[in-house]
Structure 1
Amino acid sequence: MSNTPQDHDLAIGTLDLGVCPALIVVDLSNGFSEPASPLGGNFDSQISQINGLLDTFRAKKLPVYFTSVVYHDETTASVFRRRLPDLDILQTSSQWVKINSKINKQSDELIIEKQWPSAFFKTQLATHLEKNAVDSIVVVGLTTSGCVRATVVDGLQHNYPVFVVPEACGDRNLSAHQASLHDMHAKYAVVMPAKDLCAHILSL
């Protein structure tokens, strides 16, 4: 029998959380996390998991960043918005760009505005991570197959060990969610349950 790609898995090495991991909460804005939004859905379970992670990171005084997609004009990310016209609701003055009130965000925690899927692309996120001596990132939020995955890949391309918490990521398409978690763990990140990740963080 020929050795086709599905006959074997690539070897996977280990990654380390280091001493200063940062939590990146991707797009928990109302536009993506409320069922009333054309971009949204019911992600109460993921919100609960994220709140638990926030408590853990704060207990160790580790950096936390939020992202929100915000459009200030008609021309930015025009191709992305032409492909997904519902993104046009994410205007700077709308309720849709605000972080969901169910998320326990503290007032001093930074919101990174972005216009494309990745939290890194044309933002100041990498600068903030470097300034705070971050040595790994934990990515959670919405959606698993879209902005979470893009942020994970870019995190790796910025040479950070990347960790993903599956219970704290959500997607409107469950098959895409599961396939993306599988693919990220196989190539770009460590997919680690919330319980294990929190225990590791608290041990730092």
Structure 2
Amino acid sequence: MSGVGGADARDAVLRVEDVRAAALRAAGHPVLVVVDVQRDFADPELLAGWGVDDAGLAAVDAAITRCDELVSAARRLDVPVVWVELAYDPARPWRASAWLQTGDPDSPTDSFPCVAGSAGADWWRLDPAPGEARVRKRFYSGFADTSLAAVLEELQAGWLVVAGLTTECCVQATATDAVQHDLPVVVARDATAAYSVALHDAALASLALNVADVRGSSEIEALWSPA
């Protein structure tokens, strides 16, 4: 009996995914939002120095490859790509983050990643093309204190695909805020990663429950393709 119930549940999920896919095709223009695939978050030498294990390094590497493929598909199918990047300014310290990490909101943030203008803030194995929008951010979410909402409005975005790093942090924060801007969101399962595979899987489960439709890159390309 449990096997029958499991099959029924899977069929129900597939039916909901089909309904969602049809609604997305009718929702208007898709936009791909790429989040934080930057050297300080992606360079395997740096990550290994932080203690990221081999499984985590492999997951990040695979996600970046998929992200690059998704960007290529978006360009081929005339889906706009928006690049959301951390550009930390030490002159405007993020006191809440300093407090969380050290207990002192006024502690130095010299070691904060992706300082604006540094090599650590460069895109890693991906490059924005001329004319593609780039949005600099200070916080986890691409929407917080940025121009992203205005950029998406100008592009007449009807729904978003979010990809990049890391699943449980800036990807989740950006996807959550997109929904709170009333934009349907698809998160690319295989074009996102965390430094722990278990953490990535848990973040996707949370996103699927509350925020986004979670799909693989091939499914996303199918949604972008003309019917």
Same fold (TM over 0.5): yes
TM-score calculated relative to the size of structure 2: 0.78
Q: In proportion to residue count, which structure has more helix? A: 2
SS at match of 2:45: coil
Give the CA deviation at 1:83: 3.0
SS at match of 2:96: helix
Consecutive unaligned residues of structure 2, counting only runs of 5 or more, are: 1-8, 102-108
Q: In the aligned structure 1, how far is the partner of 2:197 from the partner of 2:216?
A: 17
Q: In the aligned structure 1, how far is the partner of 2:72 from the partner of 2:181?
A: 26
Q: How large is the RMSD of aligned CA atoms in angstroms?
A: 2.3
**Alignment partner of 1:161 out of 161, 184, 193:** 184
SS at match of 2:142: coil
TM-score calculated relative to the size of structure 1: 0.86
Tell me which residue corresponds to 2:75: 58
Tell whether 2:118 aligns with 1:90.
no
Tell me which residue corresponds to 2:96: 79
Tell me which residue corresponds to 1:27: 36
Greater Rg over alpha carbons, structure: 2
Q: In the aligned structure 2, how far is the partner of 1:163 from the partner of 1:152?
A: 8
Q: In the aligned structure 2, how far is the partner of 1:146 from the partner of 1:96?
A: 18
Q: Is the 8 A contact 1:53 1:198 kept in 2?
A: yes
Deviations 1:125-168 (A, max 9, x none): 00000011000000011000111111111010000000011100
**Alignment partner of 2:46 out of 37, 52, 65:** 37
Q: In the aligned structure 1, how far is the partner of 2:212 from the partner of 2:111?
A: 27
Where do residues 129-140 of structure 1 align in structure 2 (5 Å cutoff)? 129-140=152-163
Where do residues 99-114 of structure 1 align in structure 2 (5 Å cutoff)? 99-100=123-124, 102-114=125-137
Q: In the aligned structure 2, how far is the partner of 1:99 from the partner of 1:49?
A: 15
Letter aligned with residue 97 of structure 1: A
Q: In the aligned structure 2, how far is the partner of 1:86 from the partner of 1:153?
A: 29
